[in-house]
Structure 1
């Protein structure tokens, strides 16, 4: 997570703009997020170019490789480092790259997420999540509140998404980026480096919209809970129900919407009975 007391100069740049309010115009300085393009080389071959905030670049690369099914385990990575002089990430695997990759990939990891490798190996490498873990509904609301209050970068610029990983009802890591996909990849990359495999109680939280690609990240990581401040798409819901993900959207204040595998969320006394029919 970005230090809330001092924002790095390479993350924000102030530019002169005009501000309008009630029809009146004034000049002022506006803080803008700085993004950076980072080539990702695996076994000497460029497989992607990551457009991202200059934080946790190595974690982003590792999470990207895993969620895109280019690796199946952190044990397959012999070395991974960010070369700050050349500004690229070099990864050496313990095995050759899989066959079938395009000759050249111009892949920008941002909010829209362009081309993806995942569809090539979805059926082979993505399996449904099985979990009997249950969590109190009030913990979900509390965790989402912590995310929304945590980001100094968002308060300063309004230009980043935040993601978090929680275990046993407590947040263990925050990540931020210009893209919601990147933020989740950073969180998963952190877990791959520091706490893998994850326990049944693991939960992903995000400030971004939940698309099909976002849901697949949770499935790929074996994380049964995905919670967002925003809305899911219909495609994301179909995948969540089919692949064993408890999907929560519109988590704001003490309210949220539970879309799938509702039996894992314990309601307060006096509520209607929650079943697994969703």
Structure 2
């Protein structure tokens, strides 16, 4: 297996079965590696306190955005001004915070263990993952042409370099209300791809994203809706199905939620007021 450190793809020799024939082939595979996220905070009792926050299985790349986005969507930080420095050492990243006297380390004792398939594994309860959104409320009173929505899967597919090479990756993409692609991130974890986007826009001071559209390459889970709500997003589209809890969260935060989106059809679960039907 050929792998360069920090690269999102590895090459591996495999055997393909084509009818009755066996063919030796070199295949590209999406990388999945652990990333330990920790923070360093100022404390009255000691100059600096280090705290491990999460171990997440991710595809290397945009790790700084991932860590910052995770800390924001978990309610640990509120803006990029709290970040003094970010240090990445292979599969470990530390975010040193300033203005962190008010961070309650006791609340961080709940175990964060996130995997590529489910970002909420190991959390104690639903109440523990309902992070409070600190952004001001927004009406997001735009309307999107119904046929424009069907164009987004094709746009994303053209941009998904890792997926096109491996087939084993998720993506999250951010569009403006005119349908222009703003940014896109790929990862083996759905939640990681979204955290990478949110971390990026947070450092660019672009929050809230109340004039943007979020497109997800997989299903719409509760956790993804919650993360999007934290960033002020009011319009979410997914290739797959939403869960019942995702629909409830979308209703609670006045989010337009679309599922089963492809080039010919989609379902509107909540917030049809933002679609010109």
Specify the TM-score bucket, using the shorter chain as the normaliser: 0.7 to 0.9
**Residue 77 (structure 1) aligned with residue 83 (structure 2):** yes
- Which runs of 5 or more structure 2 residues have no equivalent in the other structure? 41-49
Is the 2:57–2:114 Cα contact (8 Å) retained in structure 1?
yes
User: Deviation at 1:11?
Assistant: 2.1
Q: Which residue of 2 aligns with 1:238?
A: 248
Distance (Å, rounded) in 2 between the aligned partners of 1:37 and 1:123: 24
1:136 maps to what in 2?
145
- Please state if 1:147 is matched with 2:159: no
Quickly say closer, same or farther: Cα 1:222–1:190, change in 2 above 3 A: same
Deviation at 1:55, TM superposition (A): 0.8
CA–CA distance in structure 1, aligned partners of residues 172 and 132 of structure 2: 27
Mind listing any 5+ residue stretches in structure 1 that lack a counterpart? 1-6, 268-278
From the superposition, tell whether residues 121 and 209 of structure 1 become closer, same or farther in structure 2 (CA, over 3 Å): closer
> What is aligned with 1:15?
12
Q: Which moved more, 1:60-69 or 1:136-145?
A: 136-145
Task: Choose 124-133 or 171-180, whichever is displaced more.
Answer: 124-133
Displacement of 1:69 after TM fit? 1.4
Distance 1:119 1:65, change over 3 A: farther
RMSD: 2.5
* Structure-2 residue corresponding to 1:52: 58
Change (3 A) 1:120 1:105: closer
Output the TM-score relative to the length of structure 1: 0.84
Residues 253 and 26 of structure 1, relative CA distance in 2, 3 Å threshold: same
Structure 1 residue aligned with 2:114: 108
Q: Is the 8 A contact 1:129 1:243 kept in 2?
A: no
Confirm or deny that 1:122 pairs with 2:148: no
- CA spacing shift, 1:104–1:153, aligned 2, 3 Å: same
Aligned to 2:43: none
Matches within 5 A, 1:1-278: 10-43=7-40, 44-84=50-90, 87-93=91-97, 94-96=99-101, 97-101=103-107, 103=109, 105=111, 107-113=113-119, 114-116=121-123, 119-120=127-128, 122=130, 124-125=132-133, 130-169=139-178, 170-267=180-277
1:54 Cα deviation after fit:
1.1
Provide the aligned length of Structure 1 versus Structure 2: 259
SS at match of 1:40: strand
Give the alignment's TM-score, normalised by structure 2: 0.84
- Cα 1:199–1:36 shift into 2, 3 Å: closer
Distance of aligned partners of 1:254 and 1:129 in 2 relative to their CA distance in 1, 3 Å threshold: farther
C-alpha separation in 1, matches of 2:248 and 2:129: 19
1:38 Cα deviation (Å)?
1.8
Conservation of the 8 A alpha-carbon contact between 2:142 and 2:177 = no
Q: Given that residues 68 and 116 in structure 1 are in contact (C-alpha distance below 8 angstroms), is that contact kept between their aligned partners in structure 2?
A: no
